[in-house]
């Protein structure tokens, strides 16, 4: 994803969080970690993502943060933010009549296997299994990525940035573009 796209998506996520009730007060029922425009995000959804993360850590030989530690709480916060953003994107896509087809997801899966596993399906499937990740979970992740890109395209279609503005931004932020 391009830096401008990441910036846009991060800003959209922050905006989404500002409009969302997240775990504070009585607006969020028991067993729910957030509410996005009336849609509840459950503790179970959060627990499933945390469990996937734990499996990924273990598959990479890393220790997963212990429950109750600041690191564990940070993981939870990141996943709540992800779930909120995902739901906000779904709602915005519905309002804009944006859909992601199975064919588009299939294409992304193929690209993923080609780029990460040189097209070797057996290696890909072994890696999924080792990390406790299913093909369906990957498809959902890739679907979210395609949806985010389509939303980005939809909201930026008519935006034009003059070359002088691009140059000015670059000159003010040159330190971010050096190695």
Task: Give residue 23's pLDDT.
Answer: 42
| Alpha-carbon gap, residue 115 to 122, rounded angstroms | 14
Alpha carbon 32 to chain centroid distance?
Answer: 20
Q: Is 145 helix (H, G, I), strand (E, B) or coil?
A: helix
Closest CA to 146 of 116, 176, 179, 102: 102
Element (H, E) at 33: strand 32-36
Distances (CA, A) of 39 to 20, 34, 57, 59, 86: 10, 8, 30, 33, 12
89 contacts 144 by C-beta, under 8 angstroms: yes
Task: Give residue 18's pLDDT.
Answer: 43
* pLDDT higher than threshold 90 for residue 26: no
- For the chain, how many residues are written? 179
Task: Work out the mean pLDDT of the chain and round it to a whole number.
Answer: 84
Q: What is the pTM of this model?
A: 0.68
Query: Residue with structure tokens 């067993």?
Result: 31
22 contacts 28 by C-beta, under 8 angstroms: yes
* pLDDT higher than threshold 80 for residue 21: no
Closest CA to 93 of 18, 149, 46: 149
Task: Give residue 90's pLDDT.
Answer: 94
**Could you tell me which residues are beta bridge partners of residue 32?**
42
* pLDDT higher than threshold 50 for residue 22: no
Tokens of 134: 């299913």
DSSP letters of 51-104?
HHHHHHHHHTTPPPPPTTSHHHHHHHHHHHHHHHHHHHHHHHHHHTT----HHH
Residue-wise pLDDT for 83-136, tens only, equals 999 999 999 999 999 999 999 999 999 999 999 999 999 999 998 888 777 899
Task: Give residue 137's pLDDT.
Answer: 87
């Amino acid at each position: 994803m391009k830096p401008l796209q990441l910036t846009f998506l991060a800003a959209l996520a922050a905006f989404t969080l500002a409009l969302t009730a997240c775990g504070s007060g009585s607006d969020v029922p028991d067993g729910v970690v957030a509410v996005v425009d009336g849609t509840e995000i459950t503790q179970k959804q959060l627990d499933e993502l945390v469990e996937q993360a734990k499996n990924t850590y273990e598959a990479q030989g890393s220790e997963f943060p212990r429950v109750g530690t600041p690191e564990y709480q940070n993981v939870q916060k990141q996943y709540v933010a992800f779930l909120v953003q995902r739901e906000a994107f779904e709602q915005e896509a519905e309002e804009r009549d944006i859909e992601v087809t199975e064919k588009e997801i299939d294409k992304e899966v193929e690209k993923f296997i080609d780029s990460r596993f040189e097209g070797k399906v057996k290696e890909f499937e072994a890696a999924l299994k080792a990390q406790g990740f299913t093909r369906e979970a990957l498809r959902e992740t890739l679907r979210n990525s395609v949806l985010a890109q389509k939303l980005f395209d939809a909201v930026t279609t008519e935006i034009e940035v003059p070359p002088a503005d691009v140059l000015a931004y670059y000159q003010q932020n040159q330190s971010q573009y050096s190695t």
